[in-house]
Structure 1
């Protein structure tokens, strides 16, 4: 398999070039639900919030399709706002079922966060064995004979 290494590297580089710093699609739903946790918002404002959160590019059509899907799944609800001048705007709100789903997402993300922490610890130890982290320095100084543990 070693003879394929340059081809594999090229394939990996091509895949990375196709996917610039973008959030995985499976993050869209939890972030939309989180944005609706305390506010009722229209789609354009949700898109602005996603970009503020860190989504580098947002496919507006995909966001609106996802919102319709979430409404069909009873995770959100919508009403039409005609109070302002101009065309009516669809305002989205989180449902009780959506709040429960959001809590499930948070639990899953916590698990993923722990896995990522483990991955980066192993990665750092493998490639940078002499690097120290603030956590490790703190533990070392409090457990060493000259350290000061309070």
Structure 2
């Protein structure tokens, strides 16, 4: 947007010395290192997680073996071990119960009476047929292709 002229002034003050071009790559725009960009965008996340977990494990084992802990006598008593195992089992059982409950809640929205599922499928197929008629081309079976930007643009032209 250009600035509006004030009090009949028709000239605009544009500084042409400023470079407004943008860089072509993320690295040039952001100034980050190649390693960081590769790690965040291209690296296999499973391997990165495995390497980080291994490093933490090795660091923990090294610290435990090198630095003697003043808690060793307390941790070796039977009462402390029983309390820790009891707390861990309680946390695991509670966590599993929550995960299963939330999973069932999410899936219960998708699982319904067969008649409702059939109606949803028929409505979807009717819409696809209607879109085929308007566009004059067969609709692809893949939902992402069916909802691609250029198809949506053409459907919006027909005010669907």
TM-score, normalized by length of structure 1?
Answer: 0.25
The structure with the largest strand share of the pair is 1
Bigger Rg, which one: 2
Q: Greater relative contact order (Cα 8 A, min sep 6): structure 1 or 2?
A: 1
The structure with the largest helix share of the pair is 2
